[in-house]
């Protein structure tokens, strides 16, 4: 049976199942499916038990239940969980046990959610296929010879396979939205600053965002509701108020103007994906939205700017893995040789490639040509979005130019892998919120995702549009 947040709540309140039994059922399913899918890297049954005991006590006492009472959730392994290993999919953190919880995790648990365990991902969230994990790739539950997308592939696969009701992922250049698209579930990145990054192990700090996966938009909204909002531990988390998403998402979408950016529908998109996206756009027409062709002239430069900025920030953030305070150490008599050996042995190929590239674009003599140029182009891309939102209330695009590809099919050529992020990195650079919603399946097997961008802090509007799309049958176009 497939559970939703509302369904769990009703079943608990009606005493049809206890929170402990429900968590037990999920662990059983994980035991059955995970050997094949490799979605989970670690389980936290003791922590889950403490939480289910708390929830079951509330039910027994007839006390009011918190919004996510008893909901089994999974957490991407780049997000810190007190007492449970947090490896970032890397050998360098193989035995790392955080002494604290990320704010998002703490908030989920305070709202009643049950943390089942940690999900696999590309090493330090660097990748688009989950094949860069040091602990092996995740399989796509829709077709197990294919990738689940990345970097939050484990979270997407876990939710799509019914091994968790919802999950947290992180998105730096598409790492929530693209796996959501490949696995056929809704997946959302809020505005930069909407969700605290405290306890999120940093890849690129000006781009990283935590966000939810779930099986339906109402649940995505319920998770975002809990994790959004100002956190004194993250100075970039905003004081902008968090609206009540549940009441916002049911508002009618009739009359909203939706931009269709010409640049996103140029060459490079798989024909079968295009057909589904066009059918998805038709749904909005039927719902009474006004579709407007717009131009976002700097779209084609986004990948280049993104891979300068993201790798530069990564090279700086990953300097902390030095074998001194946590993680792997390869011994040597000299401190500097210990650093070099530890980092050389602990990081995988994609992470090392990005550290080299990121260090290069920041190094003396190249800073202006690469890093500064990238930051300037980032301004132009953000301006494209501001201009667009003067004309339309939201923007519709495909999430990815392709559906889930075969394992191993694209690993030989990093640049080709980067280019597949073309539709997602733009919103990452601009800081705006984006959601991927299921928009049919190619040949009834491989899911397509429709992406909706909104202006900064207009999460409610894109959730509203996603909800209307879902209710109108968008997932089966």
What is the set of active-site residues? 76, 151, 175
44 binds other proteins (CB under 8 A): no
Q: Which is nearer to other proteins, 56 or 101 (CB)?
A: 101
91 binds other proteins (CB under 8 A): no
Q: How many residues make up the chain in this entry?
A: 477
Minimum distance, C-beta of residue 348 to other proteins, in the bound complex (Å) = 11
Of 140, 221, 202, 212, the residue nearest 441 (C-alpha)? 140
Site residues for other proteins, 107-166, by CB under 8 A, read: none
Minimum distance, C-beta of residue 431 to other proteins, in the bound complex (Å) = 4
359 binds other proteins (CB under 8 A): yes
Which three-class secondary structure string do you get for the chain? CCCCHHHHHHHHHCCCCCHHHHHHHHHHHHHHHHHHHCCEEEECHHHHHHHHHHHHHHHHCCCCCCCCCCCEEEEECCECECCECCCCCCHHHCCCCCCCCCHHHHHHHHCCCEEEEEECCCHHHCCCCCCCCCCCCCCECCECCECCCCCCHHHHHHHHCCCCCEEEEEECCCCCHHHHHHHCCCEEECCCCCECCCCECCCCCCCCEEEEEECCHHHHHHHHHHHECCCCCCCCCCCCCCCCHHHHCCCCCCCCEEEEEHHHHCCCCCHHHHHHHHHHHHHHHHCCCEEEEECCCCHHHHHHHHHHHHHHHHHHHHHHCCCCCCCCCCCCCCHHHHHHHHHHHHCCHHHHHHHHHHHHHHCCCCHHHHHHHHHHHHHHHHHHHHHHHHHCCEEEEECCCCCCCECCCCCCCHHHHHHCCCCCHHHHHHCCCEEEEEEEEECCCEEEEEEEECCCCCHHHHHHHHHHHHHCCHHHC
Q: Which is nearer to other proteins, 70 or 358 (CB)?
A: 358
Q: Which is nearer to other proteins, 166 or 224 (CB)?
A: 224
Applying CB under 8 A, among 325, 390, 443, 476 the residue interacting with other proteins is 325
Q: Which is nearer to other proteins, 198 or 284 (CB)?
A: 198
Applying CB under 8 A, among 304, 409, 411, 442 the residue interacting with other proteins is 304
95 binds other proteins (CB under 8 A): yes
Q: Which stretch binds other proteins (CB under 8 A): 129-137, 148-156, 261-269, 379-387?
A: 379-387
Minimum distance, C-beta of residue 99 to other proteins, in the bound complex (Å) = 3
Minimum distance, C-beta of residue 364 to other proteins, in the bound complex (Å) = 10
Q: Identify whether 355 is preceded by a cis peptide bond (ω within 30 of 0).
A: no
Applying CB under 8 A, among 258, 305, 420, 462 the residue interacting with other proteins is 305
Minimum distance, C-beta of residue 442 to other proteins, in the bound complex (Å) = 28
Residue 352, phi then psi, degrees to nearest 5: -65, -40
Minimum distance, C-beta of residue 189 to other proteins, in the bound complex (Å) = 13
213 binds other proteins (CB under 8 A): no
Query: What tokens were used for 193?
Result: 């600053």
Q: Which is nearer to other proteins, 35 or 241 (CB)?
A: 241
Site residues for other proteins, 400-429, by CB under 8 A, read: 414-415, 418, 429
Applying CB under 8 A, among 355, 439, 446, 458 the residue interacting with other proteins is 355
Q: Which is nearer to other proteins, 274 or 340 (CB)?
A: 340
382 binds other proteins (CB under 8 A): yes
Site residues for other proteins, 58-77, by CB under 8 A, read: none
Applying CB under 8 A, among 99, 241, 444, 476 the residue interacting with other proteins is 99
Minimum distance, C-beta of residue 210 to other proteins, in the bound complex (Å) = 15
Minimum distance, C-beta of residue 243 to other proteins, in the bound complex (Å) = 15
Applying CB under 8 A, among 214, 456, 463, 466 the residue interacting with other proteins is 456
339 binds other proteins (CB under 8 A): yes
2 binds other proteins (CB under 8 A): no
Site residues for other proteins, 262-301, by CB under 8 A, read: 298, 300-301
């Amino acid at each position: 049976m497939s559970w939703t947040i509302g369904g769990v709540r009703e079943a608990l309140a009606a005493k049809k199942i206890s929170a402990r039994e429900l968590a037990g059922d999920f662990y059983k399913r994980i035991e059955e499916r995970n050997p094949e899918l490799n979605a989970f890297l670690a389980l936290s049954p003791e922590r889950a038990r403490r939480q289910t005991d708390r929830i079951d006590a509330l039910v027994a006492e007839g006390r009011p239940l918190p919004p996510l009472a008893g909901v089994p959730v999974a957490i991407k392994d780049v997000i810190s969980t007190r007492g449970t290993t947090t490896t970032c999919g890397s050998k360098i953190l193989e035995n790392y046990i955080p002494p604290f919880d990320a704010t998002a995790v703490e908030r989920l648990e305070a709202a009643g959610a049950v943390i089942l365990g940690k999900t696999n991902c590309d090493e330090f969230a660097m990748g688009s296929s989950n094949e860069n994990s040091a602990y092996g790739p995740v399989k796509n539950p829709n077709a197990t010879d294919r990738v689940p997308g990345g970097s939050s592939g484990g979270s997407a696969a876990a939710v799509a396979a019914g091994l968790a009701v919802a999950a947290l992922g992180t998105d730096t250049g598409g790492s929530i939205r693209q796996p959501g698209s490949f696995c056929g579930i809704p997946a959302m990145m809020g505005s930069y600053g909407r969700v605290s990054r405290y306890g999120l192990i940093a890849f690129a700090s000006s781009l990283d965002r935590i966000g939810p996966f779930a099986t339906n938009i109402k649940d995505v909204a319920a998770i975002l509701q809990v994790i959004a909002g100002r956190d004194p531990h993250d100075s970039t988390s905003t004081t902008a108020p968090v609206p009540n998403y549940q009441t916002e998402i049911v508002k009618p979408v009739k009359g909203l103007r939706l931009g269709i950016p010409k640049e996103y529908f140029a060459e490079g998109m798989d024909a079968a994906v295009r057909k589904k996206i066009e059918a998805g756009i038709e749904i909005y027409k039927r719902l009474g939205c006004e579709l407007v062709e717009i131009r976002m002239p700097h779209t084609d430069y986004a990948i280049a700017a993104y891979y300068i900025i993201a790798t530069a920030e990564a090279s700086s953030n990953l300097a902390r893995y030095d074998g001194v305070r946590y993680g792997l150490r390869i011994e040597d008599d000299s401190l500097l040789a210990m650093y070099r050996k530890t980092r050389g042995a602990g990081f995988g190929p994609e992470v090392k490639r990005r550290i080299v590239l990121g260090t290069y674009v920041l190094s003396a003599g190249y800073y202006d040509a690469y890093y500064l140029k990238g930051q300037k182009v980032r301004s132009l891309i953000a301006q494209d979005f501001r201009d667009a939102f003067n004309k339309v209330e939201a923007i519709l695009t495909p999430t990815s130019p392709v559906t889930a590809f075969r394992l191993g099919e694209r690993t030989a050529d990093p640049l080709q892998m980067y280019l597949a992020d073309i539709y997602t990195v733009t919103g990452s650079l601009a800081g705006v919120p984006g959601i991927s919603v299921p928009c049919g399946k190619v040949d009834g097997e491989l899911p397509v995702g429709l992406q909706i961008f909104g202006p900064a802090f207009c999460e409610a509007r894109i959730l509203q549009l996603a909800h209307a799309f879902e209710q109108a049958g968008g997932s089966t176009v």
